[in-house]
């Protein structure tokens, strides 16, 4: 089932074409990564998908219906976490429920319980400034999934973290998805990191330089959790690097 369809999306600023033509589909319970050169318009594309920025051509559909504004079925995870420093961690997570009709008590309970799932028990009432980067992004992820969205959009969610922390959090995300601790949803992730894309994705959309087109969509069919040292994994890394360089 198609959850999000990006259909011939174009974007230009004044007369300068940034996104020339991009189409791909995020299917039910599939993980799609979008990889491309710096400045090719990846963040802009994700904002268009989220309904935050209007495309100048084409359209984005959510279950067949055109997206024209942010909708509660789709959540967003930011590169720089996007936490509000004046709110406690649990209050930050509760922001993810602001579009839902639910008592304050229930919002608190759900937020507490998701923080626990993300390994942050004991930090509910402290503030983001006491957390490490990895913990902050766990709060960011918790806030995004607490509403049980149908789709999750992530803009380079691991790239502000050091490599060890990023590795651990990626592995944890895979584990939580496999164990169904996060309701299995469709995901679209922007990344610069080829290995990260292969570790997580079912499909990798490889973009060109500006004006941006889809060079190729590569399907990754390896069992999870994926072994980064396996021959198939390394072959996939070579394949994506080659397509990016073409
Ligand atoms: N207001 C603006 N005026 C002119 N150009 C802009 C404006 N906003 C964005 N751009 C250009 O649009 C392009 C796409 O920006 P965007 O941030 O979406 O790219 P990106 O692929 O996410 O980059 P990065 O890899 O650095 O995250 C960039 O080349 C940028 O220079
Ligand atoms: Mg960007």
Q: Is residue 91 in a domain?
A: yes
Q: Are residues 195 and 171 part of one domain?
A: no
Output the CA–CA distances (angstroms, integers) from residue 161 to 80, 136, 166, 181, in the order listed. Answer: 9, 10, 5, 23
Ligand nearest the Cα atom of residue 208: 1
3-state secondary structure of 154: strand
Residue nearest to atom 16 of ligand 1 (CA): 41
Q: Are residues 164 and 100 part of one domain?
A: yes
Distance CA 180, CA 27 (A): 18
Q: Is residue 101 in a domain?
A: yes
Parallel, antiparallel or unpaired: strands 212-219 and 16-27: parallel
Q: Are residues 220 and 171 part of one domain?
A: no
CA count, 13 A, side-chain hemisphere, 215: 20
Q: Are the C-beta atoms of 54 and 10 separated by less than 8 Å? A: no
237 lines ligand 1 (CB under 6 A): no
DSSP state of 142: H
Q: Are residues 168 and 127 part of one domain?
A: yes
**Angle at Cα 225 formed by Cα 232 and Cα 72, nearest 5°?**
115
pLDDT at residue number 32: 98
Identify residues whose C-beta is under 5 A from ligand 2, the ion. 42-43
Q: Are residues 62 and 9 part of one domain?
A: yes
Q: Are residues 68 and 190 part of one domain?
A: yes
pLDDT at 184 over 80: no
Q: Are residues 84 and 171 part of one domain?
A: yes
Q: Are residues 216 and 176 part of one domain?
A: no
38 lines ligand 1 (CB under 6 A): yes
Tokens at 33, concatenated: 């990564």
Output the CA–CA distances (angstroms, integers) from residue 135 to 16, 90, 118, 138, 158, in the order listed. Answer: 39, 13, 9, 5, 12
Q: Is residue 153 in a domain?
A: no
pLDDT at residue number 181: 85
pLDDT band at residue 180 using 50, 70 and 90 as cut-offs: confident
The CATH number given to whatever domain includes residue 12 is 3.40.50.300
Residue 192 CA: nearest ligand 1 atom is 25
Residue ranges making up the domain that contains 20:
1-73+185-246
Output the CA–CA distances (angstroms, integers) from residue 157 to 16, 81, 82, 166, in the order listed. Answer: 28, 8, 11, 9
Q: Are residues 64 and 31 part of one domain?
A: yes
pLDDT at 183 over 90: no
User: What's the rounded mean pLDDT across residues 220-238?
Assistant: 97
Q: Is residue 154 in a domain?
A: no
pLDDT at 76 over 80: yes
Q: Are residues 239 and 178 part of one domain?
A: no
Per-residue pLDDT tens over the stretch 107-163: 999 999 999 999 999 999 999 999 999 999 999 999 999 999 999 999 999 999 999
Q: Are residues 168 and 208 part of one domain?
A: no
Q: Are residues 88 and 136 part of one domain?
A: yes
Q: Is residue 47 in a domain?
A: yes
Number of structural domains found in the chain:
2
Q: Is residue 26 in a domain?
A: yes
Total-model pTM: 0.95
pLDDT at residue number 81: 95
Q: Are the C-beta atoms of 165 and 138 separated by less than 8 Å? A: no
Per-residue pLDDT tens over the stretch 45-61: 999 999 999 999 999 99
183 lines ligand 1 (CB under 6 A): no
């Amino acid at each position: 089932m198609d959850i999000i369809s990006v259909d011939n999306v174009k974007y230009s600023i004044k007369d300068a074409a940034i996104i020339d033509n991009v189409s791909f589909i995020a299917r039910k319970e599939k993980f799609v990564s979008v990889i491309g050169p710096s400045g090719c318009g990846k963040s802009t594309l994700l904002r268009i998908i989220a309904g935050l920025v209007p495309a100048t051509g084409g359209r984005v559909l959510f279950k067949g219906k055109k997206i024209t504004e942010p909708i509660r079925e789709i959540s967003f995870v930011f590169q720089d976490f996007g936490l509000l420093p004046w709110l406690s961690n649990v209050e930050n997570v509760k922001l993810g429920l602001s579009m839902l009709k639910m008592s304050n008590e229930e919002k608190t309970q759900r937020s507490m319980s998701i923080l626990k799932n993300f390994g942050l028990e004991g930090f509910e009432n402290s503030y983001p400034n006491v957390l490490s980067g990895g913990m902050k992004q766990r709060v960011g992820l918790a806030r995004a999934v607490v509403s049980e969205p149908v789709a999750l959009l992530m803009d380079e969610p691991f790239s502000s973290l050091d490599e060890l922390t990023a590795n651990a959090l990626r592995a944890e995300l895979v584990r939580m998805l496999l164990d169904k601790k996060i309701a299995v949803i469709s995901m679209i992730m922007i990344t610069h990191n080829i290995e990260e894309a292969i570790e997580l994705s079912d499909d990798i959309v490889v973009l060109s330089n500006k004006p941006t087109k889809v060079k190729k969509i590569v399907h990754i069919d390896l069992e999870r959790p994926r072994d980064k040292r396996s021959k198939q994994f390394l072959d996939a890394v070579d394949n994506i690097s080659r397509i990016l360089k073409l």
